[in-house]
Amino acid sequence: MSGVEEACAEITRRGAGRVVLDQAQRLKASSDWSRMSPVLAEKVPPGRYVADAVVRPAVPQDVATILQVAYEHDVPVTPRGAGTGNYGQATPFDGGILLDLRGLLDVELGDGTVTVGAGVRFSAVDKVLRAAGRDIWMFPSTKTSTIGGFIGGGSAGTGSIEHGTSSDGFVVSATIAPCDGSGELFTVSGADLVPYIHTYGVTGIVVSAEVRTDPAREWISVYAAYGDYAGLAAGLAAMADVRPLPRLVSGDEPPLVASLPASVPLDPQTCSLRIIAEATSIEQVRDAVARTGGSIVAELTDYVEGDRLSGMSYNHPVWFFQRAHPDETWFHMETAGQVVVDDPAAVRELYDGPVYMHLEQFARGPGGMLVAGYTGEADVLAGMARMDAIGLGVHSPHQWYVDRNVELAIETAKRTDPKGLLNRGKLTATPPVDSRVNIGVRS
């Protein structure tokens, strides 16, 4: 028997999880949404890297036991939630076990917080919270993502204008399963959380987390239209002065608007600005739109409309645009900085051919997604130096390496994963491509 076969047999014997060896299920579980990136579509296409087994734990202790067995048999383990990540973080480069965490579904309401299993989807926990008169601090644009996946690989989303990123207090505490042979769980909080947030599970697997909530508010989904990019940018900037702060502010210029799946008709010849606003601020929003030359298209009060609007934020407009142009290849870069408002011409010169902008209001200012035609990885990466030159923050969605608190993650993993079995290929101090994160560094 191979090491994986022996490990799976032992996991089954201990009753620590359901082992799946079916090829079709292994293939499906071994890929995520990295196909959004033409670079990653070439490097990690479905079928190139496939786990030898999928293991599905049912309770947190199962994860600790699975990792103990993996440690004993030197079997690599790659964690996975709903598979909605875009950067190939859940790719099992060395085969082994694909750890499907979607069976960890506990939800426990606390005083201003909620403690949830790593497999709970944001859509499910939000339903529980709204019934209890609470709002979760933030949720990603893919609301069917899992809490564990977002903490391990996500960063920001709806609610981030007010509350920042997943590293800015969203997580109160987390229970971690290490791959150190102990078979035990431990809980971290405060500053000790840092090496476990946005590190793709290389320092230990988050099996549950306590995250912050707010008293529920009445949200209104607002659609506004602008005749040109200057007005759109001005409208986006004006929303930063609305109080209470909006939950989300997103905008697109016409080439991207045409493919948005909005619940109201959008003129594909105009720019679209979309806001999730607290009900008491709606007059401020109307005034800001009018003052910056826009017009209100719709104001929708049904809570579910906020989810629909959120589904057109962050990188989703890029995906809709790509899907609408199947015979063309487009890529995007995540950007941030005042230059997207003040000097869009400089942004459009970063790459050859047409360059389109999706705008997003972040906690620290404007940013968004730059969209351009794909001619090769070298050309994509070369644009990063040009972004530096114009003061534009950048994060490349075309690489899978841990890109935050790398030194701390490496030091932590020496204790929590001494054999280097967790999510192999994602943690290195010297990635072969530019994996910097400087979004938000510049004012």
Per-residue confidence band for 38, with pLDDT thresholds at 50, 70 and 90: very high
Q: What token pair was written down for 330?
A: 């487009």
- Residue 245: pLDDT above 80? yes
Per-residue confidence band for 86, with pLDDT thresholds at 50, 70 and 90: confident
Instruction: Express each pLDDT in 381-414 by its tens digit.
Output: 999 999 999 999 999 999 999 999 999 999 999 9
- Residue 438: pLDDT above 90? no
The distance of Cα 138 from the centroid of its chain, to the nearest Å, equals 11
Q: What token pair was written down for 145?
A: 């993502």
- Residue 443: pLDDT above 60? no
- Residue 287: pLDDT above 80? yes
% of the chain surpassing 90 pLDDT: 95
The pLDDT of residue 442 is: 29
Mean local confidence (pLDDT), 119-134: 98
- Residue 149: pLDDT above 70? yes
Are the C-beta atoms of residues 398 and 276 closer than 8 Å to each other? Answer: no
Identity of residue 142:
T
Are the C-beta atoms of residues 252 and 260 closer than 8 Å to each other? Answer: yes
- Residue 4: pLDDT above 50? yes
Are the C-beta atoms of residues 191 and 412 closer than 8 Å to each other? Answer: no
Are the C-beta atoms of residues 303 and 241 closer than 8 Å to each other? Answer: no
The pLDDT of residue 283 is: 98
The pLDDT of residue 258 is: 97
The pLDDT of residue 435 is: 78
The pLDDT of residue 253 is: 97
The pLDDT of residue 405 is: 94
Query: How far is Cα 9 from Cα 20, in angstroms, rounded to an integer?
Result: 11
- Residue 56: pLDDT above 60? yes
Query: How far is Cα 81 from Cα 99, in angstroms, rounded to an integer?
Result: 8
Other Cβ atoms less than 10 A from the Cβ of 74: the count is 12
Instruction: Express each pLDDT in 165-204 by its tens digit.
Output: 999 999 999 999 999 999 999 999 999 999 999 999 999 9
The pLDDT of residue 441 is: 35
Query: How far is Cα 359 from Cα 99, in angstroms, rounded to an integer?
Result: 35
Find the radius of gyration of the CA atoms of the chain: 22
Other Cβ atoms less than 10 A from the Cβ of 131: the count is 9
Are the C-beta atoms of residues 397 and 293 closer than 8 Å to each other? Answer: no
Orientation angle between helical segments 3-14 and 60-73, nearest 10 degrees: 150
Instruction: Express each pLDDT in 339-378 by its tens digit.
Output: 999 999 999 999 999 999 999 999 999 999 999 999 999 9
% of the chain surpassing 70 pLDDT: 98
* CA-based max dimension of the chain: 71
Query: How far is Cα 32 from Cα 82, in angstroms, rounded to an integer?
Result: 8
What secondary structure, in 3-state letters, does 83-132 show? CCCCCCCCCCCCCCEEEECCCCCCEEECCCEEEEECCCEHHHHHHHHHHC
Q: What token pair was written down for 425?
A: 């290929």
DSSP 245: P
Query: How far is Cα 428 from Cα 255, in angstroms, rounded to an integer?
Result: 38
DSSP conformation letters of 306-373: HHHHHTTSTTHHHHHHHHH-TTS-EEEEEEESTHHHH-HHHHHTSSSS-EEEEEEEETTEEEEEEEEE
The pLDDT of residue 439 is: 57
Are the C-beta atoms of residues 140 and 122 closer than 8 Å to each other? Answer: yes
Query: How far is Cα 45 from Cα 112, in angstroms, rounded to an integer?
Result: 42
Q: What token pair was written down for 229?
A: 């990019």
Averaged pLDDT score across all residues of the chain: 96
Identity of residue 29:
A
Helices (H) and strands (E) in the chain, counts: 16, 18
- Residue 259: pLDDT above 70? yes
Q: 């075309």: which residue's tokens?
A: 398
DSSP 203: T
Mean local confidence (pLDDT), 323-350: 96
